[in-house]
A and B are shown apart, each in its own frame.
Chain A
Amino acid sequence: MIHSLFLVSTAGHIFLEKHWKSVISRSVCDYLFEAQGKASAPENVPPVIATPHHYLISVYRDRIFFVAVIQTEVPPLFVIEFLHRVAETFQDYFGECSEASIKDNVVIVYELLEEMLDNGFPLATEANILKEMIKPPTILRSVVNTITGGSSNVGGTLPTGQLSNIPWRRTGVKYTNNEAYFDVVEEIDAILDKSGTVVFAEIQGVIDACVKLSGMPDLTLSFVNPRLLDDVSFHPCVRFKRWEAERVLSFIPPDGNFRLMSYHVNAQNLVAIPVYVKQNVSFFETGSSGRLDITVGPKQTMGKTIEDVVITVHMPKVVLNANLTTNQGTSTYDPVTKVLVWDIGKLNQQKVPNLKGSLSLQSGAPRPDENPTLNIDLRIQQLAISGLKVNRLNMFGEKYKPFKGVKYVTKAGKFQVRT
């Protein structure tokens, strides 16, 4: 299984290493650097690299490579999934997963890794359990620690969750305000072609929950229209059989934030694309210049406003600069990365945002024959674009009345317009 773990920054600096078996020299990472040199971007580094004696499985997240060294056959997804789980745990503990935060909390990181893996096999990966064993750093505690000279940040007892049948929840949870919030977040993945017709569109959604309830609540969440959901995956707490039979989510929730389920909406249902985009990007054969004209407008929004609209365009390399004017929002062009960002903000029915102007190309270079794609980002509050609706949330097993809330948000996922 996992032999060692190296954390490597994009600059090629190994800033943390941890070994679960015999020590492996950090020189194995040279193979990674080699691959990184070949790849154009850090994302293009192959996740699995075979070296003469070891295999490197790496995950790139938050500008850090998590490199696991393994020696024998192991399902690669197993390792990848675990590395992502490690990154998520760091994120959860330190608020961000960056080189600086990891360096600052190196002891906690070490303690975490020690608990997460034993002899290279995952031991405890549930955030609830880890938090019981190793308390996350908080400002208050760090202040107390410096004054008193250190209360321990390691729990002394075996987390009860690990032994029970519900390993994701710790026992003895107490809150004065009992609340349960559910965020239904849907993302539209779509590819539109030049003329604006939909090549491919689907809706992916997640339900993120923030549950702060005392004791051992048993929750049941039902939908008005569960038939919309085509493919689902659940947090382990959800009783699958109940879902199969009744289309009801029944679960004893973990404490705190977690992702209850993610789903995919039936592909047969036509996806309502909330915006339309008219674009015209052209490069002239002579004079090494081009023209750009983009118009965005709302469409099928079901009465909600579209917010935070941002259009990003990766320009061809030969585009030197852009001289653009817009009637709404701001546009910037970064000549180094060749990225044009047009931050529009809210979309109004009355005034349609438009971006127009000329592009100057490198003189002498041939006209680029490719056209850039437009990536669109947007957000609609209080609307689940698929029409999914939570019917009700019931609680059993506890007597208090919890405060319940459901929020809907629609976002653009991978929303691209080809030109």
Chain B
Amino acid sequence: MLDSNKDSLKLEAMKRIVAMMARGKNASDLFPAVVKNVACKNIEVKKLVYVYLVRYAEEQQDLALLSISTFQRGLKDPNQLIRASALRVLSSIRVTIIIPIMMLAIKDAASDMSPYVRKTAAHAIPKLYSLDPEQKEPLIEVIEKLLADKTTLVAGSVVMAFEGVCPERIDLIHKNYRKLCNLLIDVEEWGQVVIINMLTRYARTQFLNPNANEVLLEEGEEKEFYGSDEEEGKEEKVEKKKPYVMDPDHRLLLRNTKPLLQSRNAAVVMAVAQLYFHLAPKAEVGVTAKALVRLLRSHSEVQFVVLQNVATMSIKRKGMFETYLKSFYIRSTDPTQIKVLKLEVLTNLATETSISIILREFQTYIKSMDKDFVAATIQAIGRCATNIGEVRDTCLNGLVQLLSNRDELVVAESVVVIKKLLQMQPEQHSDIIKHMAKLIENIQVPMARASILWLIGEYCEHVPKIAPDVLRKMAKSFTSEEDIVKLQILNLAAKLYLTNSKQTKLLTQYVLNLAKYDQNYDIRDRARFIRQLIVPTDKGGALSKYAKKLFLALKPAPILESPFKDRDHFQLGSLSHLLNVKAGGYQELPDWPETAPDPSVRNVEVMDAVETVLDPVLAFRQVPEWTKSSSREKRKEKKKVEKPFYSDSEDESRLTESADSDSNTGSGSESSSATEESDSGSKSEDSGGESESEQQEKPNRKADKSSRAQRVTQETGDSERSSGEERRTAKKTTEPRSESESEEEGKESSSESSESESESETESKEESEPDTEAKRNAKKKAITPRAPDKPREEKQEVSLLDLDDFDLNPSPRVNPVNSFMSSSLVADLEGLSLTHSALPPPTISPTFSSLKTYELLHRLTGEGLAVGYCFGRQPFVRDPHMVTVQIQFTNHMDTEARNLRVREPRLQSGMRIKEFPEIEVLPPGETVTTVMGIDFCDSTQAANFQLCTHTRKFCVSIQPPVGELMAPVFMLENEFKKEQGQLMGMNEIKETLVLGEACQSDYAIVQRVTAAANVGQVPCGSDQEYSSTPPPCSPLVSRFAGKTMTSNSLVLVTVITKRDRTAQLTVNCEKMVIGTMLVKDILHALSQ
């Protein structure tokens, strides 16, 4: 049939062959006939032939070569699907001769236009590597190239290839680290798993251990008193010498992986959980618990794996799962393996407070039908009893009751556990030993019998009467016992002989004689050894003196440990961890480095700008309100500005875009991030990266120009959802034309150009030319930031058109329902403060009252150029660790100042600066305000830099008051108190003061404090403090909270006002220097 020229017959034949393969029957003798059809036109036949080829090519290498030329042709096909599948099959047939061809094909495909083909190329890399490991070097080059790829489609696959080929080449990741972190959320789920696992390893080599200080303490503690609580650790943590500052990249990773906990894919959730477990500061690991518990609802296989990991985690971080205790309760329908694992977790979680509930649960489990599970429960009870001293007696009593159980297995297991427990405090429990001695007649399980005998022997002093009797009985049945019991009988005999030789001498002799002729050599040996040791003979006197010491030495009690105790040296979630053996290809999780390697290796110049804009945490921002007057005046200079601006090189304009903190950033981010942020959905991605850059540029020019005069309160972050963004912007700009504008067609507008065009009732000064998508996008962006007032608008428009020959009209944008948007904007803002309390406290917009302006450059020293600065108290958009500094330039000269810019910042180590965009021209008499960001590293060291004009340089420095080094956080009163409780001791600074005249009222205090420091007031929760008539004796309390910019450590301020104008000021902060300085500042502010 395969030779037929009818496709349908061929198809039928191939289907049968595939069915044969599926059943595992050998179909290799059909190879020649099948290979012929590789060039078949019918796509389904072709696919099936491929399936066949991949399976059998390895066995028939020569014949397989016949097909290669077809694939080579396929690699040049204009259809990306065919190119990809040709590469796929070519790389899948394991024929060594074609390795060079494969290599070439992979190299070509790696630079293919289509991301799908590039993805296939990434897949092909490990295939080739497994076929011929000698190709490693060239393959690494390809991987390096593909790692730089910006599409989400490729990212997962290439990291997979990286892991397969060269997991040790961590240096390849440096440049791509931030990109991978940012792309992560949009990568397909399987890729996410691989990337997260890889990044975990990477982070372990590149960052410092966030728990370093605690680990040391923990270890020390463990030796002394294992099981002590965290509190101790925390108290000592207070005294740690060097404050740990988390690398921003480390933080970036943690932050970007967190949303993935909400993934529907269990593997992704697990990957994130292990990442947090291995990398996050102790306090943050808890966020993963909820998601892990959720996985317990999934299929039983998933539960099995998750519980294994939870068991390991629960040993190290007990508190993490405590609240979810009940989720680990066992149902009678669970498979046994899951029951046992749940028990393990419950046992690990048991604490003094929860033990009673857990024990009650255990009691019901003991009645279960599943005997293996009952046995496991008994062991679990034993472990609880050893770990928690308070309940030892209760457990013991419970276990003793079990001794009368009908089921032998249960009894046996309890005997074994009781034995272990009794060893801890034998003195008090002789009655239990007596009870057990009686049981020996009924219990048949050898392990249990042996345990009882050992107990009696060990503590024969406590039961002097019974012990010889037991021995007598055992001697009778000696021959029929199991080996393990026999050994214990011998032990018992020996011990009794030593303590009570009068009664037992003969018995011992008898037992020893019996043992002498036993079949088992162990028993014979033991008998001989004991005889020599204890029975006094002429020769062996030397040792027998010590016999008593040997046999009756005090034996340490066994420690009942979890089998999961040491598993955490394997990366969680890995196969090796599950099996507790190293699986093939397992990459050890490296230890934290002592000192952090240079973080600058991750810096990528161009990427940097894009990333920071994308940064999801910067959920919102507000461009400061500038003085209105300046904007109007500036319009005059518009034209002047334009020329030099456009003559700029491409690079520069892009840079300006990214560095510009103006309204354009929001829209700019869309274009530059088209690849990363999926929602903007711009198809440009498919057509390759080249067009992208073009796109970016055009809007920038316009945007930049117009943006100066404009102020828009805008929302990025969430609003990378571009539609929302555009709408909002549109609303703000309230142009008269907005009604006539076309409706925004969602994100797809650009692709469905015809539709949106028809809708837009064009303003019709210009004709609407059918434009390319790229231009359309560009236009969209260009319009958004247009200036508010009309007259200027017109003027600008014309100029824009002249310059860029765009038509502005068919601008697809602007949303129908304004009210909806505004409400959602409000909701956005609200959402920030209302997020779940488990999240780190969100930064809230500052509650400052007035801005204090400082002088940077006096007009005299600046030769007519006066520069002032103030701290904007807005979150700096591109970097959450930076303090926003507003700089105001005023030109008092009579000539214009040009090219105002920052140069040569001389900074303390760790400090960073984000310059303001260069100001091209400042005409005489004009004032201009711009924004720059400085990361002061939580110190009040001044940031020095040069301020340049086209003629002169001035050395200036900005020194922040301590109060500006923080951002307010929103927290509730009880949260505040909780945090405060953790920052006692050296971290607390108290001062009493007399309030100044002007600040008697509650309100004044709030004013003063917020003016002195950028902190947010904590809303008072309890009525007592906020009721209109406070009880006479209770003082007024105001609380404020903030966190430092760089290290995010909390700063808590409390002012307690007493009746007699005195007040007590308390500042709690982990950074003592900041605390002390802050106290001084606030003191000053309040007592004035």
Q: Which of A115-123, A303-311, A380-388 contacts the other chain?
A: A115-123
Given contacts A125-B190, A366-B406, contact A77 B267 (CB under 8 A): yes
Partner of A416, one of B331, B685, B748: B331
Q: Which of A21-29, A136-144, A326-334, A349-357 contacts the other chain?
A: A21-29
Which A residues lie within 8 Å of B188 (CB)? 122, 167, 236
Known: A73-B576, A233-B269, A248-B827. 7 other contacts (CB 8 A): A1-B160, A26-B24, A84-B302, A114-B51, A245-B828, A246-B824, A369-B405
Q: Which residue of A lies closest to B295 (CB)?
A: A77
Given contacts A242-B721, A369-B407, contact A216 B305 (CB under 8 A): no
Pairs across A and B, CB under 8 Å, 12 listed = A18-B22, A44-B337, A60-B300, A80-B301, A81-B265, A82-B267, A121-B123, A150-B8, A158-B116, A167-B188, A245-B718, A396-B723
A152 contacts the other chain (Cβ, under 8 Å)?
yes
CA–CA, A259 and B297, complex, Å: 15
Which A residues lie within 8 Å of B406 (CB)? 366, 369
Which B residues lie within 8 Å of A18 (CB)? 22
A36 contacts the other chain (Cβ, under 8 Å)?
no
What are the 8 A-B residue pairs with the smallest beta carbon separation, nearest first?
A397-B746, A72-B585, A165-B678, A158-B81, A245-B831, A149-B8, A47-B301, A73-B586
Query: Using an 8 Å CB-CB cutoff, how does the interface string of B15-33 with A read, 1 for contact, 0 for none?
Result: 1001101111000000000
- A410 CB to closest chain B CB (Å) equals 16
Given contacts A242-B721, A250-B721, contact A14 B264 (CB under 8 A): no
Inter-chain contact B746/A121, CB cutoff 8 Å: no
Query: Using an 8 Å CB-CB cutoff, how does the interface string of A392-419 with B read, 1 for contact, 0 for none?
Result: 0000110000000000000000101010
Given contacts A200-B326, A200-B329, A216-B748, contact A47 B305 (CB under 8 A): yes
Inter-chain contact B263/A78, CB cutoff 8 Å: no
Q: Which residue of B lies closest to A44 (CB)?
A: B335
Which B residues lie within 8 Å of A240 (CB)? 185, 259, 262
Query: Most chain-B Cβ atoms within 10 A of its Cβ — which of A125, A163, A250?
Result: A163
CA–CA, A16 and B369, complex, Å: 37
Which A residues lie within 8 Å of B91 (CB)? 119
Partner of A43, one of B92, B302, B335, B587: B335
A337 contacts the other chain (Cβ, under 8 Å)?
no
Which A residues lie within 8 Å of B483 (CB)? none
A270 contacts the other chain (Cβ, under 8 Å)?
no
Query: Using an 8 Å CB-CB cutoff, how does the interface string of B517-546 with A read, 1 for contact, 0 for none?
Result: 000000000000000000000000000000
B401 contacts the other chain (Cβ, under 8 Å)?
no
Which B residues lie within 8 Å of A210 (CB)? none
A156 contacts the other chain (Cβ, under 8 Å)?
yes
Inter-chain contact B574/A75, CB cutoff 8 Å: yes
CA–CA, A53 and B581, complex, Å: 13
Partner of A77, one of B114, B302, B367: B302
Query: Using an 8 Å CB-CB cutoff, how does the interface string of B956-982 with A read, 1 for contact, 0 for none?
Result: 000000000000000000000000000
- B579 CB to closest chain A CB (Å) equals 5
Which B residues lie within 8 Å of A241 (CB)? 259, 616, 619, 717-718, 720-721
Query: Using an 8 Å CB-CB cutoff, how does the interface string of A5-42 with B read, 1 for contact, 0 for none?
Result: 00000000011111101110010000000000000110
A336 contacts the other chain (Cβ, under 8 Å)?
no
Which B residues lie within 8 Å of A16 (CB)? 22-23
Which B residues lie within 8 Å of A61 (CB)? 299
Inter-chain contact B583/A245, CB cutoff 8 Å: no
A interface size (C-beta, 8 A): 107
Inter-chain contact B831/A154, CB cutoff 8 Å: no
Which B residues lie within 8 Å of A373 (CB)? 331-332
CA–CA, A397 and B364, complex, Å: 57
Which A residues lie within 8 Å of B575 (CB)? 48, 55, 70, 73-76
Interface residues of A in 143-182 (CB under 8 A from B): 149-150, 152-154, 156-158, 162-167
Which B residues lie within 8 Å of A193 (CB)? 364
Inter-chain contact B304/A418, CB cutoff 8 Å: no
- B299 CB to closest chain A CB (Å) equals 6
Inter-chain contact B300/A239, CB cutoff 8 Å: no
Query: Using an 8 Å CB-CB cutoff, how does the interface string of B310-343 with A read, 1 for contact, 0 for none?
Result: 0000000000000000110101110111000000
CA–CA, A32 and B584, complex, Å: 20
Query: Using an 8 Å CB-CB cutoff, how does the interface string of B389-426 with A read, 1 for contact, 0 for none?
Result: 00000000000000001110000000000000000000
B931 contacts the other chain (Cβ, under 8 Å)?
no
Partner of A370, one of B92, B369, B576: B369
Q: Which residue of B lies closest to A152 (CB)?
A: B44
Given contacts A119-B126, A231-B294, A233-B262, contact A72 B190 (CB under 8 A): no
Given contacts A153-B44, A250-B721, contact A107 B19 (CB under 8 A): yes
A346 contacts the other chain (Cβ, under 8 Å)?
no
Partner of B12, one of A59, A150, A248: A150
Which A residues lie within 8 Å of B616 (CB)? 241
Interface residues of A in 106-131 (CB under 8 A from B): 106-107, 109-111, 114, 118-119, 121-123, 125
What is the predominant secondary structure among interface residues of chain A facing chain B?
Answer: mixed
- B93 CB to closest chain A CB (Å) equals 11
- B834 CB to closest chain A CB (Å) equals 9
A50 contacts the other chain (Cβ, under 8 Å)?
yes
Interface residues of B in 78-94 (CB under 8 A from A): 79-81, 84, 88, 91-92, 94
Q: Which residue of A lies closest to B717 (CB)?
A: A241
- B725 CB to closest chain A CB (Å) equals 12
Query: Most chain-B Cβ atoms within 10 A of its Cβ — which of A239, A317, A370?
Result: A370
CA–CA, A393 and B18, complex, Å: 47
Inter-chain contact B578/A236, CB cutoff 8 Å: no
- B491 CB to closest chain A CB (Å) equals 34
Residues of B within 8 A of A (CB): 6-8, 11-12, 15, 18-19, 21-24, 42-44, 47-48, 50-51, 55, 58, 79-81, 84, 88, 91-92, 94, 114-116, 120, 123-124, 126-127, 130, 152-153, 157, 160, 185-186, 188-190, 193, 197, 259, 262-267, 269-271, 290-291, 293-294, 297, 299-302, 304-306, 326-327, 329, 331-333, 335-337, 361, 364, 367-369, 405-407, 573-576, 578-579, 581, 583-587, 616, 619, 678-679, 681, 683, 685-686, 717-718, 720-721, 723, 745-748, 824, 827-828, 831-832, 835
Inter-chain contact A81/B267, CB cutoff 8 Å: yes
A282 contacts the other chain (Cβ, under 8 Å)?
no
Inter-chain contact B335/A41, CB cutoff 8 Å: yes
Which A residues lie within 8 Å of B301 (CB)? 47, 58-60, 80, 84
Q: Which residue of B lies closest to A80 (CB)?
A: B301
- B658 CB to closest chain A CB (Å) equals 21
Q: Which residue of A lies closest to B43 (CB)?
A: A156
CA–CA, A152 and B12, complex, Å: 11
CA–CA, A16 and B47, complex, Å: 19
Inter-chain contact B332/A314, CB cutoff 8 Å: yes
Inter-chain contact B574/A73, CB cutoff 8 Å: yes
A218 contacts the other chain (Cβ, under 8 Å)?
yes
A389 contacts the other chain (Cβ, under 8 Å)?
no
A358 contacts the other chain (Cβ, under 8 Å)?
no
CA–CA, A47 and B336, complex, Å: 12
Inter-chain contact B267/A75, CB cutoff 8 Å: yes
Partner of A109, one of B22, B297, B679: B22
CA–CA, A236 and B259, complex, Å: 11
A316 contacts the other chain (Cβ, under 8 Å)?
yes
Q: Which residue of B lies closest to A235 (CB)?
A: B264
Q: Which residue of B lies closest to A264 (CB)?
A: B294
Given contacts A150-B12, A240-B262, contact A370 B123 (CB under 8 A): no
Given contacts A22-B58, A234-B264, A264-B294, contact A244 B190 (CB under 8 A): no
Q: Which residue of A lies closest to B619 (CB)?
A: A245
Inter-chain contact B22/A375, CB cutoff 8 Å: no
Which B residues lie within 8 Å of A118 (CB)? 88, 92, 120, 123
A371 contacts the other chain (Cβ, under 8 Å)?
yes
A247 contacts the other chain (Cβ, under 8 Å)?
yes
CA–CA, A370 and B374, complex, Å: 11
- B368 CB to closest chain A CB (Å) equals 6
Inter-chain contact A119/B123, CB cutoff 8 Å: yes
Query: Most chain-B Cβ atoms within 10 A of its Cβ — which of A44, A165, A218, A248?
Result: A165
